[in-house]
Amino acid sequence: MKPKRRIGRNTLNTWFWGYFFIAPVMLGVAVFLLGPVFYALYLSLTNWDGFVTPQFIGLRNFINLFQDEELYIEFFNTLKYMIGVVPCTIIIALCVASLLNTNIKGRTFFRTAFFLPMVTMPTAIATVWRWLFNSQYGLVNFLFRPFGLNPLWLGDPQYIMTAVVIVAIWSGIGYASIILLAGLQNIPKNYYEAAQIDGAGPIRSFISITVPLLSPSIFFLTITSMIGAFKAFDLIFMFSGGGISSGPISMSVRTMVYGIYHKGFVLMNMGYGAAEAVILFAIILLVTLGQFYMQKKLVFYD
């Protein structure tokens, strides 16, 4: 039996100062991240209006939620929002990043212009786009009227989700383009030179070299974009008129986070809203774990 190896004083000293310097960060994570997660889990098992003492009711909130039609409407609206935003944003951003990676005139200006929506408050973005989508005075319908089209973007349940998706794509292209541009600049040029010698054209080089070597950046964007889509709230809140109404327009665009807000802070049923938050957390966790499983097959590293 081998004798136990004693840990030296220098190693202990290194460990002490290492944990000492990361302690503030770990304390912040425990207080502002892990603490609210466990507290929300506790609230999901109670009946609480935000004022009186919470009453423990077990799994009744979850049972009622799975029997609530609104939960399924919110889930499918979230799914539609995610399917509409994530692939389109990444595909358009990939095209934009490829163009910004070339020697075009005004390249610095275009990089800044595409990134500007990312540093703009979502409230300001939603306010401007609400005017653009105005059916009477908006610029969007002004361009559509010569073709005989005049959709009620904000007043018709069939169009309001499309309007929100368009705004979300527009506001997310800049960030995604910067990430993909950084990935493009890390691809060695000799790969393209070798492909050119072998007779590969630009499209073939893009499919066989750019996309595989850019897959880590695409994978990162896919995860963060899907999580962001599941957490969508600000644009939904602004486009639905403030979150108080439960009419057909509001219900056609209501996502799960919007539903959590409505149940918890409008209807003042904190336990019911916390139960939906726990369900959303479980969905995001399962989707993320599935993406990490697919990473082994779809992500390639140089």
Q: How confident is the model over 91-131, as pLDDT tens digits? A: 999 988 888 888 777 777 777 787 888 778 888 888 889 88
- Transcribe 177-218 into DSSP letters: HHHHHHHHHTS-HHHHHHHHHTT--HHHHIIIIIHHHTHHHH
Whole-number pLDDT of residue 246: 59
3, pLDDT greater than 80: no
Mean pLDDT value of segment 144-148: 86
Domain presence at residue 1: no
Q: Please tell me whether residues 42 and 165 are part of one structural domain.
A: no
- Identify the domain containing residue 35 by its residue range: 12-56
pTM of the shown model: 0.85
3-state secondary structure of 46: strand
Query: Tokens 């072998």 sit at which residue?
Result: 198
The proportion of the chain whose per-residue pLDDT surpasses 90, expressed as a percent, equals 33
Domain presence at residue 112: yes
The proportion of the chain whose per-residue pLDDT surpasses 70, expressed as a percent, equals 94
Q: Please tell me whether residues 105 and 51 are part of one structural domain.
A: no
Domain presence at residue 6: no
Whole-number pLDDT of residue 11: 81
Q: Please tell me whether residues 24 and 127 are part of one structural domain.
A: no
Q: Please tell me whether residues 49 and 94 are part of one structural domain.
A: no
DSSP strand pairing (55-56 vs 46-47): antiparallel
158, pLDDT greater than 60: yes
Domain presence at residue 43: yes
Task: Band the pLDDT of 157: cuts 50, 70, 90.
Answer: confident
Q: Please tell me whether residues 206 and 130 are part of one structural domain.
A: yes
Q: Please tell me whether residues 21 and 167 are part of one structural domain.
A: no
Spatial contact of 184 and 101, defined as CB atoms under 8 Å apart:
yes
77, pLDDT greater than 90: yes
Mean pLDDT value of segment 6-12: 75
Tokens of 264: 């918890």
Q: Provide the number of structural domains found in the chain.
A: 2
Q: What residues contact residue 71 under an 8 Å CB cut-off, 6+ apart?
A: 65, 256, 259, 276, 279
pLDDT in tens, 184-217: 888 888 888 888 887 878 888 888 888 888 888 8
Closest-CA residue to 236 (of 139, 158, 152, 123): 123
Domain presence at residue 2: no
Angle (CA) 196 105 208, round 5°: 25
For the chain, give the mean pLDDT: 86
pLDDT in tens, 49-70: 888 889 999 999 999 999 999 9
Domain presence at residue 231: yes
245 versus 238: the higher-pLDDT residue is 238
Angle (CA) 243 251 131, round 5°: 60
Tokens of 111: 């990089």
Mean pLDDT value of segment 178-187: 88
Q: Please tell me whether residues 125 and 30 are part of one structural domain.
A: no
Task: Band the pLDDT of 4: cuts 50, 70, 90.
Answer: low
Q: Please tell me whether residues 101 and 36 are part of one structural domain.
A: no
Q: Please tell me whether residues 166 and 291 are part of one structural domain.
A: yes
Cα separations (Å) of 93 from 39, 109, 173, 174, 217? 38, 16, 5, 7, 12
Tokens of 36: 């609210």
Q: How far is Cα 255 from Cα 77, in angstroms, rounded to an integer?
A: 6
Q: Please tell me whether residues 204 and 237 are part of one structural domain.
A: yes
Q: What residues contact residue 243 under an 8 Å CB cut-off, 6+ apart?
A: 237, 250, 258, 261, 262, 266
